[in-house]
Structure 1
């Protein structure tokens, strides 16, 4: 059997990954600090900068990746027969479930190879994909680990698959994705602190002058709760950090935290709500402005555990590492996003203001 393996990451890729990690953390720090400082000092351009900066970084990242995507799109995919060596179907709340196939691909002009792929299959069609059954696959010749089962092949390939007799090759998967360049995630917090510190230092005079003026009752000083959690609230933002052993996915935990941040009977509107395992962050709309926003207490937080579970188990990630749920209403209606990262890449799903899933993006 010919084995196609990923090549080690190039040495020059590590400095590039380091630079990307610092840049990502720096932009996040500058954006958050700009939102907070801009809200406190009533500096509208600074506040808008905090909203626009992440979008600008995303656009630059998209443009930087355009040449690579163009090269990959120019590669003509190959079609071949494959025999199913194993099949493992996962669970799901929809009509399509993720299925992990162990395939032996038999190209017409090359040696056979094994590959493991995960693909969403309609539950009605599952009986058509039995072990030792022959299917049609399509894959890029330079990236065979991205093979996909063709659910509706042409009549010619249907006839070939029906008449073929193939045996699966023994052993583990031979076509595997190359190891990713280390993400160096530990550098991101450093960049975040660096970016936030730069904004605070640049506008230190405005903040000091603001502190000397009388503050309305709503501009409460940061306060800390009991040792089980830490809460910091200001006029522009709020955060809650849970203690060890607790999670915002626990029943009622997120609802209590949102109630404590928004206050009794107050209708403080939020621009963004970000939820992680033990960290909740809320950026409030500036008082007296017409900035878009929503009442964070109206979020369907009872649906959040189910959304996170689906994102971490049903989108092709076998070993999810981190997850983040974001709710915002910068334009149009409220959108809830869950982004999960793992060894296989990044997966995400989007839901509406009622917690109903509208879009899923499997790991790539």
Structure 2
């Protein structure tokens, strides 16, 4: 018989273009919504980006259900075909995927070439040699969906045994006819348009203040404002602990702290004044009692920061861990003693009521 190549079925260009555009729009909208939801921290927008493709996929599935039912109700056509070539894709399993190049010769229709892939039992491979005639089935409206019938009816088996089919010219059909560049362009255009729509809709949140990139809300710094101090006041003493980021060696900090603890004339007479980095403790002279004491207004507060610095750097303590200043009149006159402790040991320095150094005891 004389064989000619079949003309592939015409593709529904307008429908395919619309489907490609809609698919691209859904993908672009979904991706843009996911990114925008993360950037502007909107959970509903992020969830929408996840839900849109899922809903679209469900709608496409439901819309295609009638077509799939119609296709399932159409009986397949049976025809003879000649194996032009075969190629086993894998050989380790019992059922081997084989790529077949066939010439299908339908009754009353032109022959055509098609390429298919079908699993064949390894023991049946010798039955599918090149140039052998086999019985195939295909869908009338999708002639590229061909399947070799492994156990044909006796009638078709007899026809295949005595048939001789000439090869049809290629190329071989392998799947649905390609949609072409127009459908791909429609998908890309829909993707860009969907993404642009989301960006324009939320441009005020994505690009506030005339296009500036949205910045996260600034977090308050630990040291942006002074941390309130803690004060404990009793009839005989007062203690103040400064908050983090503050030091009694800061300019004017010690004087202000002492003034806040000595409201009233009776609280200006102190027996002991103890200062550490953030700790201030004052022991006052009890009312009606006599003991060596001094007026807190006589302490040279302006000299104390430099005295502490000198004690920490000139007494041989290379890595000072802590320091303490004590002021009292146990020896008769106001004495200021600074003790520095480090890994090398403990050292001390004494100054008089004017803040002049009178004695040093370095580390030995």
Taking structure 2 as the reference length, the TM-score comes to: 0.49
Larger Rg: 2
Larger RCO, structures 1/2 (Cα 8 Å, 6+ apart)? 1
